[in-house]
Structure formats: structure tokens, C-alpha cells
């Protein structure tokens, strides 16, 4: 049996692109997302001879996450990698009656990812090891004025994963944090500016390379974002709040 990868938020965007990339590399796939019909279409489009299992899940329904991941793991056999990818972005600002959007972002991007990581770690511990991957963002390096809740959710996810690394390493579980820049996916097509944009296919290829190498943390692509994210921290806050997008 081929080794398996579980991916949340697999119906579109980065998750969908990673499904094709890992399929091309010979992995069996466990794919879950909110829109089952899109997963069914994706399953039909994948040309791999390896198994593809799908399941509907909204990771904000935190109590359901373990059952869904366990079901996919049982279908596929040995799981090597669990990727917490599901995420949303919303434009919301304090005092404008849109707190429900902030709550949605935190529930999906942070709590849903943590629920995925928790359930995935339990599966991998039973198997004797593996890898947990969290899809964060360069938006988590500093607060973006256009999407403050999104920035907060990604910063918190990166910090959480840094905090769990030592514990999971003791169980032979590698922890990888991926920080994409602008990948050409529906989550950012509304933006007027998408600097250093790359295709979803190229992004997935770079991410899969990093995941297979079990890097601890990286921007995608590495350049120029590795330099830009370092420079972001050097900008005084009084200036950052005026120029952040």
C-alpha cells in the first residue's frame, strides 16, 4: 500500500493543487472539505492509480474532525502526512457589525487547524510517527490592515505549531509550517495587488518539496519572501499601520 496524505480544505485553492501534486508523487489521498460535490469532481479528475478517499467536513465543527480523519485513515491504511490546510479570508473591521466574520476566520483557520492537528497527531502516534503540516501565511508575520483577523489567525497557528514541535518530535512526528505568499487561488483574487504571485501548481510543487524534506518552517516561494518577511519586522509600527495592505 502507498503512503497516505490527509488534506483538509482540499476542494479548491492550495489544497486542490496539493492533491494533484501528491497524487503525481505516488501518495494515496484522504481529502476533506465542506463542499462534497467539488471533492467528488476532484476525485474523478485525479488520474492516480493510488486510492483516493473523500469526506465532507467543516473543520469549524470541531467535534466531528477526529471522526472524519479516523475514517479516512482507516480507508487508506498507513498515514504519513496530515496537512491542516482549510482556511478562509474575510475583510472585517471593529465597530462595523462584522464580528461574526472575525469569529468565522478564527474558528476555521485557527481552531479548525488545531482540531485537525490534534486528531492527526493521535493517528500518527498510534502508527509510530509521521508528519504534521500547517498551512500558515506570510500574512501572519505582521498584522495586515485589510485582513486583521486573517493575520491574527495565521500568526497564532504558526506560534502554536512552534510550541508543539518539541513534544511531537519525541513521538517521531515532524512538524512543518508553510507560509505561502501570494498563490493564485480564489482566497486572494479580489485583491488589487498580489506581489510576487505564483500559480497554484508551482506553489503546490514547492510546498510538496519542502514537506518531503521535513523543513521546520519556510515561506513559499523562499525568495523574495524570506527577505521581505524579515524586513517587515524592522518597520516601526507607526509606519507599518499606514503602509500595510
- Active site residues per annotation: 150
Contact 180, 207 (CB under 8 A): yes
> Which residues does residue 83 pair with via DSSP β-bridges, in sequence order?
7, 133
In 35-146 the beta strands, taken as DSSP E runs, fall at: 52-56, 79-84, 130-135
Query: Which of 170, 227, 115, 73 is closest to 218 using CA atoms?
Result: 227
**Cα–chain center distance at 78:** 21
> Which residues does residue 175 pair with via DSSP β-bridges, in sequence order?
132
Query: Which of 147, 128, 151 is closest to 139 using CA atoms?
Result: 151
Q: If you ran DSSP here, which 8-state letter would residue 198 be given?
A: B
> Could you give the CA distance from residue 212 to residue 202 in angstroms, rounded to a whole number?
16
Amino acid at each position: 500500500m502507498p503512503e497516505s496524505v490527509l488534506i483538509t480544505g482540499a476542494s479548491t485553492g492550495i489544497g486542490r493543487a496539493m492533491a494533484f501534486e501528491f497524487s503525481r508523487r505516488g501518495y494515496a489521498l484522504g481529502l476533506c472539505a465542506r463542499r462534497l460535490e467539488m471533492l467528488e469532481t476532484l476525485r474523478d479528475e485525479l488520474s492516480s492509480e493510488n486510492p483516493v478517499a473523500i469526506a465532507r467536513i467543516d473543520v469549524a465543527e470541531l467535534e466531528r474532525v477526529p471522526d472524519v480523519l479516523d475514517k479516512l485513515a482507516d480507508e487508506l491504511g498507513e498515514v504519513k502526512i496530515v496537512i491542516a490546510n482549510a482556511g478562509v479570508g474575510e475583510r472585517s473591521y471593529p465597530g462595523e457589525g462584522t464580528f461574526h466574520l472575525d469569529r468565522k476566520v478564527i474558528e476555521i483557520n485557527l481552531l479548525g487547524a488545531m482540531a485537525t492537528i490534534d486528531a492527526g497527531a493521535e493517528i500518527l502516534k498510534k502508527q509510530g510517527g509521521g508528519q504534521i503540516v500547517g498551512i500558515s501565511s506570510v500574512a501572519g508575520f505582521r498584522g495586515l490592515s485589510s485582513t486583521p483577523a486573517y493575520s491574527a489567525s495565521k500568526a497564532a497557528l504558526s506560534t502554536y505549531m512552534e510550541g508543539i514541535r518539541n513534544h511531537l518530535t519525541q513521538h517521531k512526528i515532524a512538524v512543518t509550517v508553510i507560509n505561502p505568499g501570494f498563490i493564485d487561488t480564489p482566497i486572494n483574487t479580489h485583491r488589487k495587488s498580489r506581489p510576487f504571485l505564483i500559480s497554484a501548481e508551482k506553489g503546490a510543487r514547492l510546498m510538496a518539496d519542502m514537506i518531503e524534506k521535513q523543513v521546520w518552517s519556510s515561506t513559499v516561494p523562499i525568495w523574495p519572501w524570506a527577505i521581505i518577511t524579515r524586513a517587515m519586522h524592522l518597520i516601526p509600527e507607526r509606519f507599518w499601520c499606514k503602509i500595510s495592505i
